[in-house]
Amino acid sequence: MKRILLPTDFSKNSKNAIDYAMALCKKWECTFYILNVQKQSEFILDDLIAAPANSSVHTAIAKDNKEELNCFLSKIKKLNTNKNFTFKPLFDFDSLTNAINQVVTAKEIDLVIMGTNGVTGAKETVFGSNTLNVIRKVNCPILTIPENHKFSTIESILFSTEDCKDFNKDGIKPLTDILSVFKAELSVLDLDFANYPEVQDNHTKCLTNLFNEQPFKYYSVTQVPSIMVISTITQIHNYNIHALFIEAKSFFERFLFGSNVDEISYNSTLPLLILRK
């Protein structure tokens, strides 16, 4: 049983991510938790005026959001009649990241799938602020779906890595599960440019052990800026997903979260699978 968390604000973007999740997970037995979060700071005067005199503002707003959530969920169920799917609505008053962290722990979530909302500033070079905060603060694998990106199939996946020595099979399981179900091809892009060629043999052995019987194409690049390499390879090849591990102070953290250096910018048109060790 897969436990998938789908945050939603009822927008077209979040609905598109949910549609992608339904197609991606069609061969699994899944419980989908549909989470809507209301921040207290978003209360406005109209909310206070509309609240009945004998009820708290929390109760009044929660009632409206829960009704909208149930209506939203009913539409999803009508479009997705897969008998392997179970849907459960969740509502919370909190920040988005706090709410997601609580659900991840309480429900033992395997994967969070959510939409992105494009470039919004120099420090948010791939996603909008909500998605960035979730990636930064939620310790769970996350699959981000770009705006208007529709699921077709999964035939080829790119896995970018800096150093594989600390990876483990549990951390990489969301990727290997997708590879197994869709019989997809795997390409590994090795960007550990500091110690070549000394470590290359160790990396390929490590990756072979990590992916077990899964064959993969191996690419290593030196003397070329990593951002340029990633941008070029994802444009040339028809990958369906780009997977990578995120660690504090790593290249990939800078790659996603931006930098004072102008070159660190990347607008992914691919779903990104963010993995944790």
pLDDT one digit per residue (tens) for the chain, 277 residues: 799 999 998 989 899 999 999 999 999 999 999 999 987 555 544 544 455 555 555 566 667 778 889 999 999 999 999 999 999 999 998 889 999 999 999 999 999 999 986 544 444 445 567 888 888 889 899 999 988 899 999 999 999 887 666 677 888 899 999 999 999 999 998 876 555 556 667 778 888 888 888 899 988 877 777 777 888 888 888 999 999 887 655 555 556 655 433 333 455 688 999 998 6
pLDDT at residue 120, rounded to an integer: 44
CA angle 265/266/270 to nearest 5° reads 165
Ordered by start, the domain boundaries in the chain are 2-145, 156-275
Amino acid at 150: K
pTM of the shown model: 0.84
pLDDT at residue 52, rounded to an integer: 54
Establish whether domains 2-145 and 156-275 are of one fold: yes
* Residue 115 near residue 247, CB atoms below 8 Å: no
* d(C-alpha 269, C-alpha 122), whole Å: 18
- The CATH architecture one would assign to domain 156-275 is 3-Layer(aba) Sandwich (3.40)
CATH code, 2-145: 3.40.50.620
* d(C-alpha 2, C-alpha 18), whole Å: 15
